[in-house]
Structure 1
């Protein structure tokens, strides 16, 4: 669940440090006070899109950090371990910084991550239902996605889509091969000739490194011989040779160190220098024995280098890129050969079609019972939301041809009244009915979600009276299973909450900022009375508010 949210310089928030509780919490306040701004900030921390408008006027950046408990049985723990982002003490910390120029950065457990990684982690931690979420239910894609999520088949649906597109791409390749066989033949011949040309060169990057080193040595052989002879003379020839003198000095210091131990370090240093001089002398003698002028070998290497350079210039690449170029040509040639082989293409097409078909049938098998369960659950919820006798159905219709989303279409159908026939949701639901059905869908679907924190942003728009009280009770029951946060203008909903915050605007100097107040019992009575009575709050309104809170408390 969400434990803490820290916000700095976000829209009209300067600094807020919020600690959240379990259960159902209501966020209330006047319109425009900043209730939804808090959820927008949380959405950023969960990996939502960012823009420069998020930064408070006159500030350089907005900074949001959210701390969650790691759900004990969530796949998130394994995912974090796989990303080297392991949570310490079961705590997951998400942080987002948005700069005034629009650039944003993200951290997860203190490690820099991409926005995509932050969003992937956030999907396991919290689910935000926006105030217009019910309108999305009118779209077939949203209806299908919600059913697949309810069936626990979202990953399977993605797999079906991927297999469908792979199958379709192969069909296109086969058709293209049939239409352009002559051009493909010419391209195959060119690639084969280019590959043979490179193979005849027999080039490798290891050889290129080796011959460049040898070329440098042979091209400068005269200077290397002269230098080696000079150094050998200095180090090892005559009475004044450095190696001989160092050995003499080492013996002398050895005798002195036996008398005075303070010379021990000097003895070690001089002895080491004498040993290194001897080793250098022997190594240089071996090098000089191998070193010789070889004009013929130099000419061979220069011809080899020119052959390689000529082919590299021809194909406009660096010499050490020639092996990669050959590998690329080989891949293209294999692809063209595959396209030109109708038998092979047909077998591959059949295989991919079979894989798609099998995955799509597994998806269908998961959708059927989930559709029935979702239909029953939402129909039951409608009975308590002023739609007694209404019915909801998730209809599955077999497609004429296979589709990327599977073998069947998904359509939400509803009858808001007992005597109505089931019709598509988009055609029969009024604004108020759509709000209530949408809320029922979100609540029912959320019960099957593994997400520990559910957030509802004014999803109760368009309802009131007894229905609002029932909505509050639905959210309260949901809060017994996981953490629920709800931005609401309805006193009936707020009265059902386990805890309540009031968000308000306050003037500080020339600025208007958003503030959050944690409400105790007495303050909740005042806030709910304000929601009931508006500007002029009477004692009657306060008694009504207290009764609402008392009734809801006794109902818990």
Structure 2
């Protein structure tokens, strides 16, 4: 509930701090005293549009702060969870600052927030109802939610939401299969040809790298074989180095003994060279024999490698992706082959989902129709005492085209009134006059009291243009509402003021230099005088005081 309101430099208010209690609080004062300023200030703190005209003349800025105490599970805390550091259950302070040039800033618990977020939080804390208010009960967008709260059929709403989600998923599945099938059929000839090519090629992941390595190895073997043949040819030229050395040795062996003795070191070295040369030639021959050079294998490796790379270029993929591409093409063709069966099954599932949703929407519609009758009966029962005995209220339930069904069902809901016998029903905001509108809202709020979703209700001159028994009926209903929620009411009616648990008097003070609005909390004696003034006018009489006593002691 609202526990405090602080106002600085707003219109005619210099500095003002108010504390509010539970139950019914009334604000009274003479016409023009500035009662609307308080509501404008509260609205500003709740996120209403900022206007430089709200800043008191001569001030650089105006500031309004509203403090609320809420249950830990209040919806405002969930809304703030991701933006403002606040513990559920701790007080919330909504503050708005308006500069003289019209710029504004918004804070919640001293943390800066957007004006939009401030407004969303404010809507969950306070409802302000006045003759020209077009939000809350007057906004058709919220009528369906209010009717559902009144009906209390949350289980039906859950059924519809689930059925609608399942139906949407089934419809998406049908659309996806149809699109895939259409695309596959459009490319079927191409897919079959491409798949035939890829299956004939039979690519494997990693095959390109392996073929490239094999090709490099084989090419190196080919070059080495050529080099070895050249080496052998040079060593074997002109009979070969080995034959030349051994020929020299045979010639030296034919020399006389003395010559051989002198050439012995040479002959020993040549003999050793001949042996080693023979070993070298044998090793060279063995290496040439052992070298695995297969020109046909190199040709096969190159041909396979070039085929893979050409196919990859054709399909604009990497060679290693060809195997996966083949599988995708095969799956798309399989989708064509099984597409009709899959589509038939998906359409059958969609038909089942449609039936389930249709049943859920029908059950919810019947429950809404019963709740609409009950709400209309409750509201119409309130109207005679509120001097609206010729008026009629109804809840118009309009079936929507299935194409416009949502998780909230398939019904349009609107609160409508007819103010005179034989007159057509129409929206509250268009049919009822200012005074009638406020009383219609009161009748609705009383009928919906158990489903009230905000902690604080504000009524601005709900008793305008009425008096006597009708004003007393308004006061009685406001008091009834205050049993379940905090209610603030700006009133000119003594019958309504007398019902208040807390009473504030608003006055305008004027001197030679300035005009200011003041607000005074009244004790029982001051309340008696204020209610007597409201009864008698400018001159308070003893009879008016006695009448005030009578009203206050009911």
Per the TM superposition, whether the score is higher than 0.5 is: yes
Give the aligned partner of residue 368 of structure 1.
Answer: 369
Give the aligned partner of residue 262 of structure 1.
Answer: none
* Per-residue Cα deviation, 1:224-252 (whole angstroms, up to 9, x for no partner): xxxxxxxxxxxxxxxxxxxxxxxxxxxxx
Give the aligned partner of residue 3 of structure 1.
Answer: 3
Counterparts of 1:96-245 in structure 2, within 5 Å, are 96-133=96-133, 140-141=140-141, 143-144=143-144, 146-147=146-147, 150=150
Is 2:73 the partner of 1:70? Answer: no
Q: Give 1:499's match in structure 2, choosing from 489, 499, 502.
A: 502
CA–CA separation in structure 2 for the residues paired with 1:106 and 1:355: 47
Q: Please, which runs of 5 or more residues in structure 2 have no aligned partner?
A: 188-338
CA–CA separation in structure 2 for the residues paired with 1:111 and 1:358: 48
Counterparts of 1:316-331 in structure 2, within 5 Å, are none
Distance 1:401 1:96, change over 3 A: same
Distance 1:148 1:61, change over 3 A: farther
Q: Give 1:468's match in structure 2, choosing from 451, 462, 471.
A: 471
Give the aligned partner of residue 444 of structure 1.
Answer: 447
Deviation at 1:450, TM superposition (A): 2.7
Distance 1:149 1:31, change over 3 A: farther
CA–CA separation in structure 2 for the residues paired with 1:523 and 1:511: 26
Deviation at 1:508, TM superposition (A): 5.4
CA–CA separation in structure 2 for the residues paired with 1:532 and 1:414: 33
CA–CA separation in structure 2 for the residues paired with 1:512 and 1:145: 45
Deviation at 1:88, TM superposition (A): 7.9
| Aligned partner of residue 124 in structure 2, secondary structure | helix
The answer to whether the 8 A contact 1:411-1:424 is kept is: no
Q: Which stretch shifts more, 23-32 or 393-402?
A: 393-402
Give the aligned partner of residue 385 of structure 1.
Answer: 386
Give the aligned partner of residue 539 of structure 2.
Answer: 537
| Aligned partner of residue 480 in structure 2, secondary structure | helix
Is 2:522 the partner of 1:523? Answer: no
The answer to whether the 8 A contact 1:413-1:422 is kept is: no
Give the aligned partner of residue 55 of structure 2.
Answer: 55
The answer to whether the 8 A contact 1:150-1:449 is kept is: no
The answer to whether the 8 A contact 2:506-2:518 is kept is: yes
Q: Which stretch shifts more, 408-417 or 55-64?
A: 408-417
Distance 1:83 1:359, change over 3 A: farther
* Per-residue Cα deviation, 1:288-343 (whole angstroms, up to 9, x for no partner): xxxxxxxxxxxxxxxxxxxxxxxxxxxxxxxxxxxxxxxxxxxxxxxxxxxxx999
Distance 1:434 1:81, change over 3 A: closer
CA–CA separation in structure 2 for the residues paired with 1:546 and 1:523: 14
* Per-residue Cα deviation, 1:61-81 (whole angstroms, up to 9, x for no partner): 211111111225423344444
The answer to whether the 8 A contact 1:80-1:87 is kept is: no
Deviation at 1:468, TM superposition (A): 0.8
CA–CA separation in structure 2 for the residues paired with 1:97 and 1:508: 28
* Per-residue Cα deviation, 1:102-154 (whole angstroms, up to 9, x for no partner): 22222212222222322232233222112324899777556556535645799
Distance 1:152 1:113, change over 3 A: farther
| Aligned partner of residue 448 in structure 2, secondary structure | helix
Is 2:554 the partner of 1:551? Answer: no
CA–CA separation in structure 1 for the residues paired with 2:116 and 2:136: 23
The answer to whether the 8 A contact 1:106-1:114 is kept is: yes
Give the aligned partner of residue 229 of structure 1.
Answer: none
Is 2:397 the partner of 1:396? Answer: yes
Q: Which stretch shifts more, 86-95 or 23-32?
A: 86-95
The answer to whether the 8 A contact 1:390-1:416 is kept is: yes
CA–CA separation in structure 2 for the residues paired with 1:64 and 1:410: 37
CA–CA separation in structure 2 for the residues paired with 1:388 and 1:37: 33
| Aligned partner of residue 509 in structure 2, secondary structure | strand
Deviation at 1:20, TM superposition (A): 1.0
Distance 1:152 1:119, change over 3 A: farther
* Per-residue Cα deviation, 1:386-407 (whole angstroms, up to 9, x for no partner): 3458653213132456447853
Is 2:510 the partner of 1:510? Answer: no
Is 2:21 the partner of 1:18? Answer: no
CA–CA separation in structure 2 for the residues paired with 1:487 and 1:431: 15
Give the aligned partner of residue 483 of structure 2.
Answer: 480
The answer to whether the 8 A contact 2:9-2:61 is kept is: yes
| Aligned partner of residue 14 in structure 1, secondary structure | strand
The answer to whether the 8 A contact 1:6-1:18 is kept is: yes
CA–CA separation in structure 1 for the residues paired with 2:440 and 2:58: 43
CA–CA separation in structure 1 for the residues paired with 2:116 and 2:363: 29
CA–CA separation in structure 1 for the residues paired with 2:114 and 2:153: 26
Deviation at 1:7, TM superposition (A): 0.8
* Per-residue Cα deviation, 1:410-447 (whole angstroms, up to 9, x for no partner): 34455667x76884466876665444323212333344
CA–CA separation in structure 1 for the residues paired with 2:139 and 2:94: 32
| Aligned partner of residue 90 in structure 1, secondary structure | coil
Q: Which stretch shifts more, 109-118 or 128-137?
A: 128-137
State how many pairs are aligned: 393
Counterparts of 1:255-270 in structure 2, within 5 Å, are none
Deviation at 1:43, TM superposition (A): 1.4
Instruction: Provide the TM-score with structure 2 as the length reference.
Output: 0.58
Distance 1:546 1:408, change over 3 A: same
Deviation at 1:359, TM superposition (A): 8.3
The answer to whether the 8 A contact 1:389-1:416 is kept is: yes
